[in-house]
A and B are shown apart, each in its own frame.
Chain A
Amino acid sequence: MTTSVTTETLANGRTYTHRTAAHCETGVTSALFFDKGLNLSEPMIFGIGSGIFFGHLPFIKWTGLPITTFRSMPGLVFKKTAKRLNAKIYRKRFHSPQKGMDELRCVIRTGQIAAVTTNVYWLSFFPRRARFNFSGHNFIVLYENENGFRISDPTLLEYTTDCSAYDMERARFARGPMEARGLMYYPIYVNPNPDIRKACITGMLDTCNQMLKIPIPLFGVKGMRYVARKIIKWPEKLGYVEACRQLAHILRFQEEMGTGGAGFRYIFAAFLQEASELFGSKELNELSNEMTVIGDTWREFAVVSSRIIKQRKSKREETFDKAGGLMLICAGKEEQLFKDLRDVISTLKT
């Protein structure tokens, strides 16, 4: 898991080890728990916190287009993981930026590392082309130094970096859709030997319910079908160029934002694999392989869509029907997978 390691000394002399991750929130949660003496990998956190999801939110606009998410709400993974592992956590939002910054300084001065949720636009260490107004990036603040703050961003960088106090305040308190309002969180106490099997089962059951049982056709497997049918109708309804624009927007959520590939489907497959080792269950391993196949189908959807977008001015070889069809296939396969997973869970023992 650890591809590159950098160590930092915290305010109270403890050592912090930077580890890279594929997704910001799970990476941060994994690092926070590791700092408290509980070593869980990123996929494991992702599974226990029920990170995998699908949702289409036409009523929340981001750069003018509806949000299609492949994961649960930002912030929920940490909350759920902590609850299922019986960890005590501190988690707070602030009305006043001044108070939020003071509180952060107070906490890191004691040598406790804290995670903050930020808006990417205001972070100057980000690549310029990735800086869009999106409030949902998490990283860990280690200590204060002459440039502002020393931070560890598990998704983006292979090393720790500096972030100025101005950037930090603007990023934490930026206004916009899904604003973070200075959200800051860290575990206070973590049980070093929690019941991981029980936590895994709770996490997997919750995942199945999220994907199958939400009675609104915008979420879970139903949401996938809804979006897929919409994609097929787009070229007629919106015109070819606008349809391409919307399709590209979905792809950005699937691939661009630190998903570990195929909209988190590969991370979840990695989780199922780890869980199969934990429970010694062959069925879970088979499901993991099945999830990998689904991930590959999502990748194919991305490739087909990108071909549609590339040829938007010339002759058409790939069609929206094909892209939407691939998504329908994904929906069907995922529905079967989560139903199977639910059956497998009932045979597992804690």
Chain B
Amino acid sequence: MKINEVPQDDLPQYYEGIKKGNYAVDDNGKYVMVPSKGWDVDELVNRMACDEYHAALEETRKAVLAGQKSPLAYYMELRQLIPKFLGKTAGIATFRVKRHLRPGIFAKLNDSVLDKYAKALAITREELKTVPQNSYER
């Protein structure tokens, strides 16, 4: 890759003005590091992953509002966790976490267990009991 081939696509919403280092060959055939503003291939694959994440999150939010899942499922997905790692973070066995994803069982949890989850998910206990009415970003 020559210096003038380093992609400089203008994608401010993607990397927020941060430049990535790219190694490229200069006119004398020597390698130098060239900051790149962004590449649309990069942006495309990142957008795909982000969209997938948001779509799954939105689906879970609707499922919680419809009473099929507990709010814990929503916040777990918001923090990009799976029951195994949420359990490890909160100090609760995985099979219990999986049970707590069911709304009926979640509703009966006592405050000490809720506090453990709230701390692990970096939200308050009150927030954990409901999901936002409108979808929001992170």
Taking a contact as CB atoms under 8 Å apart, the answer to whether A258 and B20 are in contact is: yes
Assess the A127–B14 pair: CB atoms within 8 A.
yes
- A21, chain B: closest CB distance, angstroms: 6
Q: Point out which of B16, B20, B21 has the most chain A C-beta atoms below 10 A from its C-beta.
A: B21
| Per-position binary interface string of chain B over residues 109-129, scored 1 when its CB falls under 8 Å from any chain A CB and 0 otherwise | 000000000000010000000
Chain B 93-138 residues near chain A, CB threshold 8 A:
122, 137-138
Task: Compute how far the CA of A63 lies from the CA of B40 in the bound complex, rounded to whole angstroms.
Answer: 22
Residues of A contacting B85 with CB < 8 Å?
A: 175-176
Shortest CB–CB separation between residue B73 and chain A, in angstroms? Answer: 15
A22, B24: Cα distance in complex, Å:
11
Bound-state Cα–Cα, A127 to B24, Å = 25
Interface size on B, residues (CB 8 A): 42
* Nearest opposing residue in chain A for B22, CB measure: A261
Measured CB to CB, the residues of B under 8 A from A are 1, 6, 13-16, 18-25, 29-33, 35, 39-42, 44-50, 52-53, 79-81, 85, 88-89, 122, 137-138
Q: Is the CB of B48 within 8 A of A248?
A: yes
Do A266 and B44 have beta carbons less than 8 Å apart? no
17 other contacts beyond A43-B31, A129-B50, A266-B1, with CB at 8 A cut-off? A3-B35, A22-B20, A22-B21, A23-B21, A42-B33, A127-B18, A128-B16, A174-B89, A175-B88, A176-B81, A255-B41, A266-B31, A296-B1, A299-B1, A302-B41, A306-B45, A309-B45
Q: Say yes or no for A260: interface residue by CB 8 A criterion.
A: yes
27 contacts between A and B (CB under 8 A): A20-B21, A23-B21, A127-B14, A127-B15, A128-B138, A129-B13, A129-B47, A129-B50, A131-B138, A132-B80, A155-B21, A158-B35, A174-B89, A175-B88, A175-B89, A248-B44, A251-B41, A252-B49, A256-B42, A261-B6, A266-B1, A266-B24, A292-B25, A305-B41, A306-B41, A306-B44, A310-B44
Q: How far is the CB of B8 from chain A (nearest CB, A)?
A: 13
A170 CB–B CB distance under 8 Å: yes
Contacting residue for B35 out of A20, A132, A305, CB 8 A: A20
Determine whether the beta carbon of B23 is less than 8 Å from that of A269.
Answer: yes
- Shortest beta-carbon distance from B122 to chain A in Å: 7
Give chain A nearest CB distance to B18 CB in angstroms. 6
Known A-B contacts A3-B35, A269-B31; A121 and B79 likewise in contact (beta carbons under 8 Å): yes
A1 at the interface (CB under 8 A from B): yes
Please state if A261 and B79 are interface contacts (CB–CB under 8 Å): no
Separation of A248 and B80 alpha carbons in the complex (Å): 19
Q: What's the Cα separation between A249 and B49 when bound, in Å?
A: 8
A127-168 contacts to B, CB under 8 A, are: 127-133, 155-158
Q: Which 7 A-B pairs have the closest CB atoms?
A: A22-B21, A270-B31, A266-B23, A133-B80, A175-B88, A306-B41, A127-B16
- Tell me whether A255 and B80 are in contact in the complex, defined as CB-CB below 8 angstroms, given that A261-B22, A269-B31, A299-B1 are known contacts: no
Q: Does A75 contact B (CB under 8 A)?
A: no
Question: Please, which residues of chain B bring their CB within 8 A of the CB of A170?
Answer: 122
- Do A248 and B45 touch (CB < 8 A)? yes
Interface check A51, CB cutoff 8 A: no
- Tell me which residues across on chain B come within 8 A of A305, comparing CB atoms: 41
- A42 CA / B122 CA spacing, docked (Å): 37
Q: Could you tell me if A255 and B24 are in contact, using CB atoms closer than 8 angstroms?
A: no
Q: CB within 8 A of B21: which of A21, A121, A288, A289? A: A21
Count chain A CB atoms within 10 A of each CB in B1, B33, B52, B89 and give the residue with the most. Answer: B33
Which residues of chain A are near B25, meaning CB under 8 Å? 292
Which residues of chain A have C-beta atoms less than 8 A from B40's C-beta?
Answer: 306
The CA-CA distance from A273 to B138 in the complex, in Å, is 44
Expressed in whole angstroms, the Cα–Cα distance for A101 and B30 within the complex equals: 43
Residues of B with C-beta under 8 A to A3: 21, 33, 35
Which of A128, A155, A157, A170 counts the most B-chain CB atoms under 10 A from its CB?
A128
